[in-house]
Chains A and B, each alone.
Chain A
């Protein structure tokens, strides 16, 4: 094949879907914005050993979104506000319960989210069709409209700005909560601000990926990044980069192979995770090789 032909094939494979179709461009922009917000948030969740809490939170959004759905159908505003309120209530409630009872925070989250997921599915099925239910559970990144795009972009912007503003107390609370408490830093406050960011990002991701897939774009890039980077800033940067790669790769895959885009994006992130697991600096292969080589001091 001549060079021109090869370039043409490459163009058709990688760029044409976005050049030709507006809905693909929109989906791409949505994925990129999500990667910027979810990347750093996911890293902090991993470092706080709260990876599964992110999962639980993403389900906790469902009943709120479902109530919004009952009030106004598949409306962006109502479902987002409902999801936001439900997510914040679960975050606050689990935190308060774990302080007031013997249950650790993750136990409260697990209890909350099982109830929330069941209630949400029930509510949506009650008034909606199976298509609606599929939409709520798995999203449809290809159907993201201007309003949803604005919401996602606004959340990403807020996450980066607020995250930068409270970076020091947030990281300190993560790393050495006892010290922060002793010097009079209000760790609990920053923890709650962070949980609010988690909920916001999940609500944003919910628009594109649905309640079951949203957490994939938050946790998989962050977990993968942990296998490569050893500094906090590089972890976050890498997590964003992995999120972008997964969004782009997943969309290209879903376009050419004709599979649902949400799961394709999450699976692309999963592929990055498996590669990182094998090849990463802290991954299996390197660890294995490192046994035979070491520095003198």
Chain B
């Protein structure tokens, strides 16, 4: 399936990797060195960290605990909000990839991308990668800063579990962002989607409210979002010292999500391109 997705037509087997790397490079140079980005990656995560901390704090004074399939964790509030913030900000950055296409469309460069025979999914992937990577190193810096400044109860017993939780959460969020970016292209409302998704996702994913405290339907809806599952896996493996077998169900779920989102993004981008060419909405001129 993946081979057919990236083949993009019999004779259009262009350098997928080159396209992805070119997109990432462009994305980094075009969007990174701005005050806006610096604000976003430096100031906002710190402010948000405080917000999440105080939103989660009241729950530590109640009987509501962090529990998943019988695994109960004592909530380390700083560790919880930090891991939550790490994953959530990454999620936000992938969300923004969709919004970037709005800018590309208005600038006329989106049309130029589609004028080329480059693989569409590779363009999308490069853009989403670029959007996420440019935040990542500063996020890591933030995490390190917090780790040294505050006493976080890290308890790791299985590094494979931690590694896989991190990797699969990253990929699942990336492919989720890919799908949203494809949908943004289709709907031409990337910015709006990015804004509309932020708060609901923060709630149902367990970032600011423990999942156990949510109404059951809402909590179940949260499991459709990779951020929710990724957060549980990360918290269990990094803060709870859980082993691979304890989180394997979560990791398999993330793997399934990755596959589903890649296929979804593939079809969505095709539909989006065809629709734009039929309606004549590829550009604003």
Q: Do A and B bind each other?
A: no
Q: Which residues of B pack against A, CB within 8 Å?
A: none
